[in-house]
Amino acid sequence: MPRTARLEYEGAFYHVMNRGRGRQRIFDTDDYYQAFLETVVEAHHRFNLQIHAYCLMSNHYHLLVETPDANL
C-alpha cells in the first residue's frame, strides 16, 4: 500500500524524528553527536532549511524544520 503524497509548500514546518532499530543507541560518543550536527548544518546551507529546534538523545533525535522553498 503506497503512502499518501507528501504535502510541500513554502514555509511548511515538519517534525522530523528517527530512532535506532530496537531502540539501540545511534549516538555512542560525542563524536557521533558532532558529526550529526555538522550534517544538519550542511543541510541548512545546501537546502535553505531553517532548523528551529532539535533534541538529540542517545537512541533517537527530533528536529523542527521549516522549508522556506518547499523543497523537503
Q: Name the residue among 29, 17, 31, 28 with its Cα closest to residue 60.
A: 17
Helix (H, G, I), strand (E, B) or coil at 47: helix
Distance between CA 8 and CA 23 in Å, rounded? 30
- Widest CA span in the chain: 39
Q: Which helix (H) or strand (E) holds 62?
A: strand 60-67
pLDDT of residue 63: 98
Tens of each residue's pLDDT in the chain, 72 residues: 788 887 788 889 999 999 999 989 999 999 999 999 999 999 999 999 999 999 999 999 999 999 998 876
pTM, 2 dp: 0.82
